[in-house]
Chains A and B, each alone.
Chain A
Amino acid sequence: MSIYILPVIFVVLIIYSLIKRVKIYDCFLDGGKESLSLVVTVFPYIAAVFVAIELFRASGLSEIVSRWLSVPLSYLGIPAELSELVLLVPLSGNGAIALLEKIITEYGADSYVARCAATVTGASETIFYISAVYFSKCKVKNLRYAIPVALFSSLFGMVVACALCRVM
C-alpha cells in the first residue's frame, strides 16, 4: 500500500503542473542547482557533527556514559540494553540504525528489548544534526532552551514508547 504513495504523489503533481502550465523541466533544473549550493552550505556543519560523533564512539566514551546511564534509565522503564541506543539516537541516525540491527540479531526481532529498540529508533530524530543543519543559512549564536527541551521531550517519548511496548 504505502509503496504507492510517493509515485502517486509525483504523478499527480506533474499532471497538476501540466494543467497549471508550469515548466516541469525548468523546475528540475532549478532544484538541481539549488541542491548543490544547499549541500555546500550544510557540509561544514555535518562534518563537524560527524567528527564529534565518530570520536565519541571510537574512544569508548559512549560505552562508558551509557553504562552510567543504564541505572537511571532503568528506573524510567527503559531496559538497560537500550542505554547506548538512547544515547546515540539524538546524535547519529546511521549509528542508531546500525545499533538497532545489532540488537535485533542479538535478542530476536520479536523480543521486548528489540521491539523497544525499534520504537525508540523509529520515533526519534537526530537532534544535534537537525540543529546544526537548520541554522546553517541563518547564523545564530544562542540557541537558548532549544536543545534541552528537545532532548527532554524525546526522552519522555522514549519512556512512553517502552511502556507501550510492554502492553502492545
Chain B
Amino acid sequence: MNAAFTALVLLSLSLMTVVHPADALPTMISGVANAITLCLKLTAIYAVWLSVLKMMEATGLDKKLSRGLRPVIRRLFKGEKDETYDHIAVNLSADMLGMGGVATAAGIKAMASMCPADGRATDNMLLLLVLNATSVQIIPATVIALRAAGGSSNAASVLLPTLISTTVATVTGGLLCKVFAAKDRHRPAAATCPPTPPRNDRRRSSARRPRKSSAIRRQCALATKDGTTP
C-alpha cells in the first residue's frame, strides 16, 4: 500500500504542479472531506449492521451459519480458530447478498483474529482479502436502479452477466491465491507443515479425493498453531 500510495500521489501532484497548481491543496482537502462524509455514512451503516451482527452472535445464529458453511470454509482457510470461521462465514455470505456494511464489519473482525505477530500477512488473510475484492454479486442493486433511471427497457438484464463474471473472477482469485500460497510454502523457513501436495484447486479436487488426508491436515494445522512441527 505504501508504494502504491506514494507513487499515485507523487505522480498526480507533479502533473498538477505543471497543469493547474492552484488546485493541489483544495483537491487534497476535498478528498479528506469526502472521506469524512463517507465515514459518517459508514457510522450509520455499521451501527445498524453491527447491531444485527450482535443479535446474530447472541442468538448463536452466526455459529449455525458458520457450521453450515464450515466444510467449504475450513477447506479454503485451513488451521484457523472457530471464532475466525464464524466471522468469515458471516463476511462471505453478507458479501454475496450485497450487504456491504455487515461484510466489512465481519471482515475486519476476521482479519483481526487471524493477525500474525510478525506483520507478514498469512495466506489465509490474503485469500479472504482476494475473495472479498472479487466477491460474487447476486443482486447489483445500485447498477440496476441507475439503468432503470436511464430509461432502459430491461434494467435487470445485467443480472446474469454480472453473476457469471463475478463468479469467474472469484474462482480465478481463489485459485491464484492457492497457487501463490503453494509456491511460497516451499520457501519460508517458518514452522510450516510438510508441504501438502501441490493441489491448488482443492475446491474441485476434494470432491473426488478420498478424505483420508484431512485428518492429517487437521493435526498438522493444530501443531502449527502451537508453533511446533509435527
B147's partner among A28, A109, A146 (CB-CB below 8 A) is A109
Interface positions, chain B 154-182, Cβ under 8 Å from A, are 154-155, 157-158, 160-162, 164-166, 168-170, 172-173, 176-177, 180
Q: With A and B bound together, what is the CA distance between A97 and B27 in angstroms? A: 20
Question: Which residue of the partner chain B has the closest CB to A64?
Answer: B15
Chain A residues near B24 (CB-CB < 8 A): 55
Question: Which residue of the partner chain B has the closest CB to A53?
Answer: B31
B104 touches A133 (CB 8 A): yes
Q: Output the residue of A108, A128, A136, A140 with the most chain B CB within 10 A.
A: A140
A123 touches B165 (CB 8 A): yes
Question: Which residue of the partner chain A has the closest CB to B56?
Answer: A13
Q: A131-168: contact bitstring with B at CB < 8 Å (1 yes, 0 no)?
A: 11111111111111111011011101110110011001
A59 touches B39 (CB 8 A): no
Q: Number of residue pairs across A and B with beta carbons under 8 Å?
A: 303
Interface size class, chain A: 35 or more
B140 touches A47 (CB 8 A): no
- Sample 6 A-B pairs with CB under 8 A, ordered by A number: A31-B51, A35-B46, A146-B121, A150-B129, A157-B134, A158-B165
Residues of chain B at the chain A interface (Cβ within 8 Å) = 1, 4-5, 8-9, 11-13, 15-16, 19, 23-24, 27-28, 30-32, 34-36, 38-39, 42-44, 46-56, 58-61, 97, 104-105, 107-109, 111-112, 114-116, 119-121, 125-126, 128-130, 132-135, 137, 139-144, 146-147, 150-155, 157-158, 160-162, 164-166, 168-170, 172-173, 176-177, 180, 184
